[in-house]
Structure 1
């Protein structure tokens, strides 16, 4: 197991909080849900490629790969699937619900690591993960609805977690041979290519109606993709995948607070308690993964 890196862990939490605003920004956009996912990737790609080309010499000196590979394609496929399904979920359910359910990845990652790599987890880590997941469920539990529309949105949010888990595991493997800049440039571009036809086929506008409509899409690219996923990709190179996936449960807490402030999605006492438990679970997982 890698030694614990406070800088990487701090970066992971900052990245997780940045992604917590993705649902808010998607709701504020004037394009269809898949189009907002596409523009998030497409607008971030040029900046990421500029960074990748700027670090190409240092990557070569460090013996890191730069060419497209099968595992990079896989990262783009998984992330495109995650974004497409999650953005649809946001169309039918609350920001907090969709964000939480898409971050149930610790369950899938722990199962994958256990069966494929025979990973054994300490009791302290398992308790921390259970507390974090329980807190996350409590965070959105009181607002759960039995309407068919919201249930469909919740189901989509949960299904997106499968793709998000796959993306996190692939990104973790990619960081062994690719720099953060090159990895994110390739992965983001591949995701954009996959999302483009889906966005064009999806009912609803593909382009924003005016110049102001580009603001939330640019914010998605800069805050969620570059400030969020890119920072997380850096952190994944220095932290165990199990700890990283649990710590990313900071996203639904951020999303719930932001949704309260912007859309009036209320947070009651049980949800506040859930947020506190979530943070305690993250701390316990961190403490028992060192």
Structure 2
């Protein structure tokens, strides 16, 4: 199979992996809610357990492929620090003003990804991309039930910083995946993120031990389902799809979390939330449609008849 034929196949596989990853990531809020551990602590176990579980496969990959370039290692470690920063500002914002506004502002990450892609990768998202993004973010706002204009404060500002760091994470992982395998990039970023979150937990006075066995069980589930089963798939997709396409797709996460919360947490979805979910789906479709239009090949030239 030549490269031209293999590329569409790789894109389809990346979309499939991303779809299954979203299901895993939809359990994030469920496991965090059930565990009841402080945010930085939950984040530390989410990243740390993933790093431990994948340590042996990572070592095997290094033996087969050779040690990665030092510069690429630092880029992958930087991605993990961006992810730790995202969790730090998001969790701190929630402590200050509750979950709604910081979560909504954290969902602005695709905006920062789009701007960063223009600045660093010289991508040029069209008006259709921004329209779809606006529709999807508006749908996420409806799901979260937020009227942010009535309650703008430090927590909201921290949520914006969270979105910036999450957007930075996507952009750096996209750069990292251009040179490293999924496992190598993912494992290095998980290690640096776990270290960063451990330092943050210590700074906030949040103990890393002393929780119930059930809490630890939920934290293991958080790591295996959400980080290994979800976020690792996102890292894989970023090797084949641009961050400006992947990040808006993750706005489906609150939709899936809401659906999963119905049978698991006994929560009910309102008509407004269902309409918000439909808006998210419509917006993501428009975003993907805009990217497909950019990839359409130019029409073949008309043959020139020679008299």
TM-score by length of 2: 0.81
1:55 alignment partner in structure 2: 61
In the aligned structure 1, how far is the partner of 2:12 from the partner of 2:58?
A: 25
1:236 alignment partner in structure 2: 238
How many matched pairs? 283
1:45 alignment partner in structure 2: 51
Which of the pair has the greater relative contact order for Cα pairs under 8 Å at 6+ separation? 1
1:181 alignment partner in structure 2: 183
Output the aligned Cα RMSD.
2.7
In the aligned structure 2, how far is the partner of 1:183 from the partner of 1:231?
A: 12
* Deviations 1:176-229 (CA, angstroms, capped at 9, x unpaired): 111111111111111111111221232454224332221111011111111111
2:39 alignment partner in structure 1: 33
Q: Tell me by how many angstroms 1:70 deviates.
A: 2.5
* Deviations 1:27-85 (CA, angstroms, capped at 9, x unpaired): 2224322111111111111112222123234434xxx8265632122112111111222
Work out whether 1:198 is the aligned partner of 2:200: yes
Work out whether 1:119 is the aligned partner of 2:123: yes
Q: Structure 1 pair 207/147, CA: closer, same or farther in 2 (3 Å)? A: farther
In the aligned structure 1, how far is the partner of 2:26 from the partner of 2:98?
A: 15
1:252 alignment partner in structure 2: 254
1:65 alignment partner in structure 2: 68
Q: Tell me by how many angstroms 1:142 deviates.
A: 5.6
Work out whether 1:105 is the aligned partner of 2:109: yes
Alignment of 1:13-28 (within 5 A): 13-28=19-34
Q: Tell me by how many angstroms 1:145 deviates.
A: 10
In the aligned structure 2, how far is the partner of 1:242 from the partner of 1:210?
A: 40
Structure 1, unpaired ranges of 5+: none
TM-score by length of 1: 0.85
Q: Structure 1 pair 139/174, CA: closer, same or farther in 2 (3 Å)? A: same
Q: Tell me by how many angstroms 1:284 deviates.
A: 2.1
